[in-house]
Amino acid sequence: MKEYQFKEGFLWGGACSAVQCEGRSPEDGKQDNIWDQWYREDPGAFYQGVGPEVTSDFYHNYERLIKMMRECGITSFRTSLQWARIISDRDGTVNRKGIAFYHRVIDALLDNGIEPILCLNHFDMPMYWMEKGGFECRETVDAFVSFARVCFKEFSGKVRRWVTFNEPVITPEQGYLYLHHYPLVQDGRRAVQVAYYIQLASSMVVEAYRQMGCSGRIGIVLNLTPTYCRDPGDERDRQAAYAADLFFNRSFLDPSVKGEYPADLVRILEENQAVPVHTEQELETIRRNTVDYLGVNYYHPRRVVHRSRPLESDTFMPDRYFEYYTPENCRMNKSRGWEIYEKGLYDIGINIRDHYGNIPWMVTENGMGVQDEEQFLNGEGMVEDGYRVEFIKDHLRWLHKAIEEGCNCFGYHMWCPFDSWSWSNAYKNRYGFIRIDVNDHARPSFKRSASWFRQVSDGNKFTD
């Protein structure tokens, strides 16, 4: 039997987003965001027609869920602040009821010994700014910084770890390239502009945080999906993997940590007439305002190969430089269609250690979504999710190895402590230690994995 001990102060916890757990709950002045609007326009786009109206109903049940998180061994919890709940309009009117709600949540977390980590954006653009173009519009950048300043003023005395954006690449990737998120646009040049303005907004928020004299740390959460080519001995495959990494990892990793964009990425954008509108002053802002730490979300690897034929597309697309493939006999989470590759977490850590100054980082999301989890209910009504325990163990072994080899990782968060609504997939796949009955939100219950995670957190270790 082998014991895996983690360092003192290691953060054990979970993460969710406000949209995915709170529910729309507009009764206290919340305005619509893009998810509310998309569901109104096309409810059929959401799994079983379930939209963001209720989700996990954290807005009304946060006290109960926070107490249950404590019983699971959760010692830190990342959630987001909904821009549309705190700011009522483009004039920047502050909704005091929204502010009061988040104060209550933060206080409840602290009262239960759980450190709050707050994220300022988790794909939740307010419609009053989406109508102006969202992050295609430079004015939206300034508005986001103003929103962040309101949050820092209100909450920084209680919260010492902040996040500017969660997975910022998802908005341009899924909203402006692949038609999976609102506004359902496919235009590579617009995607690049959105990505640039999001990075600028992140850097300006970091600057504001320091200007205001806040005493904590501020970072960014990136889905650093490691990219592997099919044949490392084939130069074409290596170049395909290099290009995919530039587009989907380094486009935010480099400016956030190093303050500059990769020269090869800039060259590709120039060749495709896709360089975003920008100023030298903005680039200087990005250069000067790098993050204090990184959050890393990891679920699966990216496998690519050189293109077998040219991409047919009317717009600039990253896929022009590679195509995806699935290796034979790989482990799969069949519910999601995602490869399970635990070593990817180790590879991320080594890359950060060797190429990004070994900046402090934590695993901000890792988890296993399982469909039809009701089939694993035992006679007492508890989900027997030993598969989740094994999934976590497999990843923690590789994370422990990375830390032993000098990687500066200080925490591990599961997505999600409780079952949450997943964008257009609704409750198709369940992730939590706590089961949410979507027909009765007043009856959350523990899964078997909850007691195991509590043991890990209490002992700061696990054993094989």
What's the fold here for domain 3-463? TIM Barrel (3.20.20)
Domain definitions of the chain by residue range: 3-463
Contact 220, 163 (CB under 8 A): yes
H or E element that contains 5: strand 3-5
CA distance 84 to 248: 28
The pTM for the full model equals 0.97
Catalytic residue among 136, 342, 365, 373: 365
CA-based R_g, the chain, Å: 21
Q: What is the pLDDT of residues 223-233, one digit of tens each?
A: 999 999 999 99
CA distance 418 to 61: 12
Q: What is the pLDDT of residues 75-133, one digit of tens each?
A: 999 999 999 999 999 999 999 999 999 999 999 999 999 999 999 999 999 999 999 99
Mean pLDDT of the chain: 97
365 is catalytic: yes
How many helices (DSSP H) and strands (DSSP E) are in the chain?
16, 19
Contact 83, 147 (CB under 8 A): yes
Cα–Cα separations (whole angstroms), residue 434 to 107, 110, 261, 408, 441: 21, 20, 41, 30, 12
CA distance 347 to 6: 19
173 is catalytic: no
Q: What is the pLDDT of residues 227-278, one digit of tens each?
A: 999 999 999 999 999 999 999 999 999 999 999 999 999 999 999 999 999 9
Catalytic residue among 22, 136, 154, 167: 167
**Cβ neighbours for 91, distance < 8 A, ≥ 6 positions apart:** none
